[in-house]
Structure 1
Amino acid sequence: MQHSFPPISPFLELMQSEENTPTTIILRDHSSGMTVTAGQLLHSVSLLRAKLQATLVQDRMYDARNNEGRFIFLVAPPGLEYVVSMLTIFSLGAGMSAQSIAIRPEEMKHYFNLAKPLALLYTPALTEKIEAVKALCAEDNTGSNSKFPFVEIHITYPESSATHTYKSDPSIGSRSEQIGTLFFTSGTSGKPKGVVHSYSALLASARERIETWKLTENDVVLNQKPGNWMGGIFGILPSLISGACLETCAGVFNPKWFWERISRGGVSVFSIAPEGYDRLAEYFDEHIAMLPPARKEIYIHGIIAARFPGVTGSLLLPQTQKRWTDLRRGKPLLNLYGSTEVTLICSMRWENPDYSYMCSVGPAVPGVEVKLVDGEMRLKAPTMFSRYISDDPTQTEKAFDSEGFFKTGDCAEKIGDCYILHGRADIDVLHFWGFTLHTGEIESALFSLHYIANAIVLPLEDEEYQQRAAAILQIKPSFQSKQLNLDTLRNDLTEMTGLMLFKQPTVVYWLREGEEISLTANGKISKTEARKKFFGDGWRCKRSVEVLDLKGMEYWRMGGQC
């Protein structure tokens, strides 16, 4: 039986891999226990495509000649079902819009209204959620949200591909100018909006990562990122194009699983948020550090052997970098910076990771042009998104300056050819009493105190002092009996870290037993949500919040100049 695919990546590379190394495993789904070769993956795509195409034709939703700007929604964890569905959508010439497996039906309905999809693909494990979405859509008086098919994903492939052949066909779905993806932003830095990328931009970013990571067919890429964010798909495409083995672990990834997988060796590339690295280090200290030396060495050797242990998602603090550099016996974590709109922007290089500041994000990757305007990073790149989809039709135009540079909203400075991030302008950079403060610097000082287990710093609006640096702090269990308050905290910051008074928190919330700073599915902290949860509108009057009275404080004593 012959299966045809569009003459574009990654189909071309998968067909070549099937021809040259037909028994090589190119995807290992740890959650389901399934593995596939390139031929088995292509076969699965061909069958799902036929099913989806037939459904679309039957519902009069499909026109092979004109799918520009048309999206097919996907709800599946990052694994075999996700990859097969993604390639199926691309092979039809449509754009993929992957949604969170935890999405609320009301949110899904809103995205339907914005994107007007051709269909929705979903994994059988999420049938109950999809039925809730269908029911909500059916309540719409106009019925406009329920006029497209919901298609269940079923993966079928032969044990042997000996009787199957694969060829490229220019008449099959995809074309160079087609839409690639529609991702909705996480909402950690503003109201969620849809970000559209062309297919050519997706491939440009994938090839850049192949070059940055030096990926070959001998590598293993471990991808635990949610598939509904850019970080998910950009662990997938580079693997498929380069021939590296992609390992997915949705539903099973946790500190214990990670360390056991690392101990088996072979992992070349992975990326985790800084908060995730902190939790992995905590697990190491509690469960691995006390093992017999020979057994412990297996875990350490595995983590040292990883060529590109990436850091993404939020600011990397010096304490985290030092902890893992020590654990990896002098080999640092490799910090990188990207966004939904531009994908990869800057990256430390593994070949010679000797940077003057080891928490920088390294230089801009090839093809990315950066300029700094009042501390804000602005960008041009071949991987730039095409447009926003949102309730505000002017949002795309407003995102660019008069020279065509994308305004990231991220604050940074350049030292040599490397960039140091200070975070989001609206949540990580604040203005207090005429001073400009960076929350990352304050958080770093807090973490250096021996009794602090976790800390985040964020701005609170203040009519008299512009904004205050507010800290949410978790105390280590062994120091729970220590009498701590805002005054002792500030004294310790002065004596133990040398942090100037004007940079120190003037508002603090001490986490009580059972309370925690929650993380998103991608391992990131949403400071906006944390601010609502622990402070809220009436933060000055809350008994659980300590506020420093600044009325008796002289400006020059805070570190200001007279």
Structure 2
Amino acid sequence: MQLSFPSVSPFLELVQQAERNSKNIILRDHSLGVAATAGQLLYNVSLLRNKLRTALLQNGMYDARNDNEDKFIFLLAPPGWEYVVSMLTIFSLGAAMSAQSIVIRPEEMKRLFKLSKALALLYAPAFSERVDAIRALCAESDSGVNPKLSFVEIQTAYPDGLGSHTYEAEPSTRSTTDQMGSLFFTSGTSGNQKGVVHSYQALLASARERIETWKLTENDVVLNQKPGNWMGGIFGIIPSLMSGACLETCAGVFNPRWFWDRVSQGGVSVFDIAPTGYDRLAQYFDEHIAGLPPPQRESYIQGMIATRVAGVSGSLLPPHTQKRWTDLRRGKPLLNLLGSTEATLICSMKWENPKYTDMAVPGVEVKLVDGEMRLKAPSMFLRYLSDDPMQTEKAFDSDGFFKTGDCAEKLGDSYKLYGRANIDVLHFWGFTLHTGEIEAALFSLPYIASATVLSLDDEEYQERAAALVQMKPSFQSKQPDLKTLRNDLTEGTGLFLFKQPTVVCWLREGEAIPLTVNGKISKKEARQRFFGDNWRSNERVEVLNLKDMEYWRIGGLC
């Protein structure tokens, strides 16, 4: 059978792999039990492509010749076999992929359909009931969703036993320069959720940068445990396909036990997860691995040490997390991978360099304006998709620099980030506080297992630094009060009094700091769930009475 594909990456590389080494496994989905070669992957892309194109044509929802219209095709599938087949299918039709959370509510999906004017929804069979609810909601007369929107179930042939194929490049009738590649939605942890549109060329440029930086080859294994609806998820996938490395996945939910077991088997070259993921891995290690016999425990540790790129992305890397993992990996630190949904990868660390110096991605320009980091990057997004038509224009300054919203300080030739201005920086009684610094001090106390610091509005003092804290199990019977916590911070960390929390809520057994599906701490949800609008009268919340404290005693000038 002859299969034809666009003469662009990653199809070019996949065809070359299929012709050069037909038995090489490039994808292992441990959840579905699928191990596929490049040829088997391309065959399934061809099958699904025919099915999707037929559905779109029947509904009059697709015209390949019209390059002026948005072509967004939504995807509901965990990262793995079905996701990769669907992603390539969408790209091969010249459309842009918009992968959604596998736990998305039908009401939210309807809203995104209306906003994007989606052509279709591709979905894994495991989510058929959820899609039925989405379909019913969209069918209502006042839904605002295009009634011709196609719902297409992902169907693939099990890879084993497929015959040989030949391949040809499709005649190019359009330029990929103008093709859109993806529509991802921001997490909403630092502001209103927005759709971020990237060009296909930007996706490829960012993938090539990762391949070059990490020196990915066919001998590597990339372990991907990130949700597919996150920009960081797709950038564990495309570089693997283009380089010939084997992509390994396991369902769409981060599983510390599975992750540790896979790493202990050896052979993993690259992975990156959020800081909270590393904290969960550390907790699992302490509870289930640390007490194993030395030879068995050592296999887990050596697997982590042997991983060439153990990256961190999604949010700022706290010092306590870096220290714990540098010690565990016996001197090999985690690699900080700074990026954003809008600009993709901005800065990484050279894993070959023993000092692991932060290095800006080539082509990235940085400037500071009133403490805010602003960027120009070769992989910058095309535009926002939101209800505000001026959203994109407002995101850039007059010189074309993107306003990141991140607070930073230039130290020599480097920049020190303090986090998002609207969630990680607060103003208290005339002082500027950085939540990351306070959280680092809290984690240094021996009895604290997890903590996050957020702001609470205060009419008299502007904003309060509120700590949501969880005790380690062995210390739970000795929970301190707020005054003792502040004394411990002073004596144990030297944190200035004005930087210390003035509000605290202690988590109870079975409670946890809320996370988004992307693994980021949701300070918005934490604030509402544990403090509420009337936090002063919340019986679980302890508040420091600042009327009894003189301003100069906490570091203020009189």
Q: Same fold (TM over 0.5)?
A: yes
Partner of 2:134: 133
User: Matches of 2:169 and 2:356 in 1, distance apart?
Assistant: 45
Per the alignment, residue 31 of structure 1 pairs with 31
1:61-460 correspondence runs (5 A)? 61-67=61-67, 68-141=69-142, 144-156=145-157, 159-160=160-161, 162-171=163-172, 175-251=176-252, 253-354=254-355, 362-460=358-456
| Aligned-partner SS, 2:191 | coil
Shift, 1:170, TM fit: 2.6
SS across alignment from 2:177 = coil
Q: CA deviation at 1:84?
A: 0.6
Q: 1 CA distance for matches of 2:251 and 2:173?
A: 31
Contact 1:31 1:251 in 2 (8 A): no
| Offset at residue 218 of structure 1 (A) | 1.0
Aligned to 1:501: 497
For residue 21 of structure 2, what is the aligned residue in structure 1?
21
* Offset at residue 401 of structure 1 (A): 0.8
Measured in 2, the distance between the counterparts of 1:125 and 1:367 equals 42
Which of 10-19 and 456-465 deviates more? 456-465
Where 2:74 maps in the other structure, the secondary structure is: strand
Structure 2 CA distance for partners of 1:511 and 1:142, relative to 1, 3 Å: closer
CA RMSD of the aligned region, Å? Answer: 1.6
Indicate if the aligned counterparts of 1:92 and 1:174 stay in contact, CA closer than 8 A: no
Deviation at 1:429, TM superposition (A): 0.6
Cα offset for 1:148? 1.6
Secondary structure of 1:371's partner? strand
Partner of 2:527: 531
Shift of 1:172: 7.0
Q: Which amino acid aligns with 1:389?
A: L
Give the whole-Å Cα distance in 2 for the aligned partners of 1:108 and 1:203. Answer: 27
8 A Cα contact 1:215 1:242, kept in partner: yes
Work out whether residues 268 and 307 of structure 2, in 8 Å CA contact, stay in contact via their aligned partners in 1: yes
Distance 2:402 2:222 in 1: 30
Give the deviation of 1:24 after TM superposition.
0.1
Q: Are the counterparts in 1 of residues 226 and 252 from structure 2 also a CA contact under 8 Å?
A: no
Counterpart residue identity of residue 181, structure 1: S
- Report which stretch shifted further, 216-225 or 287-296: 287-296
Q: TM-score, normalised by structure 2?
A: 0.97
Opposite residue 29 of structure 1, the aligned amino acid is: D
Alpha carbons of structure 1 residues 80 and 225: separation in structure 2 relative to 1, 3 Å:
same
Q: Identify the match of residue 473 of structure 1 among 469, 474, 479.
A: 469
| Contact 1:196 1:388 (C-alpha < 8 Å) held by counterparts | yes
**Inter-partner Cα distance in structure 2 for 1:522 and 1:47:** 31
Q: Residue 188 of structure 1: SS of its match in structure 2?
A: coil
Structure 2 residue 460 is matched with structure 1 residue 487: no
Quick check: 1:307–1:350 contact (8 Å CA) kept in 2? yes
**8 A contact 1:334–1:348 mirrored in 2:** yes
In 2, are the aligned partners of 1:431 and 1:466 still within 8 Å (CA)? yes
Distance 1:483 1:190 in 2: 34
Secondary structure, counterpart of 2:178 in structure 1:
coil
Aligned partner of residue 373 in structure 2, secondary structure = strand
Distance in 2 between residues matched to 1:143 and 1:461, nearest whole Å: 37
- Structure 1 unaligned blocks of 5 or more: 357-361
Q: Which SS does the other structure have where 1:267 is aligned?
A: coil
Report the alpha carbon displacement of residue 347 of structure 1 after superposing the two structures with TM: 1.1
* Matched-pair contact (CA < 8 Å) for 2:218–2:244: yes
SS of the residue corresponding to residue 278 of structure 2 reads: helix
Cα displacement string for residues 17-36 of structure 1 (whole angstroms, at most 9, x for unaligned residues): 11111100001111101011
Please tell me whether the aligned partners of residues 72 and 97 of structure 1 are also in contact (alpha carbons under 8 angstroms).
yes
Q: Tell me which amino acid in the other structure corresponds to 2:83.
A: Y
State the identity %. Answer: 75
- Structure 1 stretch 461-470 or stretch 127-136: which is displaced more? 461-470
Distance 2:356 2:177 in 1: 39
Provide the C-alpha distance between the structure 1 equivalents of 2:174 and 2:55, rounded to a whole number of angstroms: 16
Deviates more, 1:546-555 or 1:192-201: 546-555
Give 1:414 shift: 3.0
Matching residue within 539, 553, 558 for 1:557: 553
1:542 alignment partner in structure 2? 538
Distance 1:332 1:415, change over 3 A: same
**Contact 2:34-2:159 at 8 Å conserved across structures:** no
Query: How many residues in Structure 1 have an aligned counterpart in Structure 2?
Result: 557
Of stretches 18-27 and 459-468 in structure 1, the one that deviates more from structure 2 is: 459-468
SS of residue in 1 equivalent to 2:292 = coil
Larger mean CA deviation between 247-256 and 115-124 belongs to 247-256
Q: Is the 8 A contact 2:36 2:159 kept in 1?
A: no
CA contact (8 A) 2:97 2:182 kept: yes
Q: Does residue 464 in structure 1 map to residue 460 in structure 2?
A: yes
CA–CA separation in structure 2 for the residues paired with 1:282 and 1:446: 17
Mapped contact 1:134–1:146 kept (Cα < 8 A):
no
Question: How far did residue 144 of structure 1 move?
Answer: 4.2
CA distance in 2 between counterparts of 1:142 and 1:443 reads 44
CA contact (8 A) 1:64 1:173 kept: no
CA distance in 2, matches of 1:406, 1:558: 37
Does the CA-based 8 Å contact 1:409-1:424 persist in structure 2? yes
Tell which deviates more after alignment, 250-259 or 302-311: 250-259
Partner of 1:359: none
